[in-house]
Structure 1
Amino acid sequence: MDYVTVKWLHIMSSTFLFGTGVGSAFYLLVTSLTRDVRAVAVVSRQVVLADWLFTTTTAVIQPLTGYWLIRLAGFPLTSRWLSWSIMLYVLAIACWLPVVWLQMRLRDVACDADRAQAPLPALYWRYFWIWVVLGIPAFFAFVTVFYLMVAKPT
């Protein structure tokens, strides 16, 4: 494949990765804060599905197309902007992996509460706040990676 096609794949997958992540986080956050158990159960199921379909696949595609672009463009792996991009991507993924597990737990706890017609229990909120705390550095890491990919500062 030529450079433009690989770059297009890289940009499209980054858009899906970041867009799905931000969108899913927004909907789970605002729905959770309503404390509407039924809504939280429904939204958390969809967030988990979206993560598996879009975030997981693009989280794998990103480093592959990124490496391919580096090779095609002849960028040295020792470039500072590239080193920072890789480290921040690893940080974001390291935050995201436990978030996937937490989202599945949030879904399960919300669905159990919905079936029991009970409010969201304390366990839900413990998982929720850990989920929020992990999402913050992941978000800023991805935003910075986007900047580094575009600007390629020397």
Structure 2
Amino acid sequence: MLYLCLKYLHVIAAIFLFGFGMGSYLYLIAASRTANPQVIAHVARMVVRFDTWITTPAGFIQIVSGYLLMKVSGLPMSTEWILTSLIIFLCVGSLWLPVLVLQKRLHGMALSAVETGEGLDAQYRSVYQKWFWMGVMGFAGMFVIVMMMVTKMTPMQLIEAVA
């Protein structure tokens, strides 16, 4: 029963981590495409808030529940799919703080543009591009991690099994 409760918690945390993260990402992309600083400032403020208070704690719950699942099931950390997913998770996580910082910068730049009545400049677009591509890399990693959670195989093992 403990295993099922931990697994449920792990899956719910994954849904929150992935769902809120992707939702925030897509909303800020859509807001940025309007080129309207007022819209961008509002959406960026909400994105930073959701990512700070919902997505980030879900990431910590993922680590704790994943570790406990591994212990309860008796699997060693050296299990290939677990070790690979943990490495990718840490890589994705290492993008997280810079992404939050960039989101706050985007918010500040948009808010400044609203206050001064000026448009968004090349610096905004530069920061946005960094944020966008870090998001692409992060979500690519998340897709791979979810695939490993479901199949219990590394990407190479899955490719070999299919071939």
TM-score by length of 1: 0.96
State the secondary structure of the residue aligned to 1:118: coil
Runs of 4+ in 1 over 3 A off after TM superposition: none
- In the alignment, residue 110 of structure 2 is paired with which amino acid? A
The aligned counterpart of 1:106 is 106
Whole-angstrom CA distance in 2 between matches of 1:115 and 1:19:
32
CA displacement at 1:96 relative to structure 2: 1.6
Whole-angstrom CA distance in 2 between matches of 1:107 and 1:128:
10
Which string of whole-angstrom CA distances, capped at 9 and with x for unpartnered residues, describes residues 13-71 of structure 1? 11101111110000101110110111101100000000111111111111111000000
Whole-angstrom CA distance in 1 between matches of 2:117 and 2:3:
55
Which string of whole-angstrom CA distances, capped at 9 and with x for unpartnered residues, describes residues 128-149 of structure 1? 0000111111111000000101
The aligned counterpart of 1:48 is 48
TM-score by length of 2: 0.91
The aligned counterpart of 1:8 is 8
- In the alignment, residue 132 of structure 2 is paired with which amino acid? V
Whole-angstrom CA distance in 2 between matches of 1:126 and 1:27:
18
Whole-angstrom CA distance in 2 between matches of 1:136 and 1:90:
16
Q: How many residues align?
A: 154
Pairing 1:15-54 to 2, within 5 Å after superposition: 15-54=15-54
Whole-angstrom CA distance in 1 between matches of 2:59 and 2:127:
23
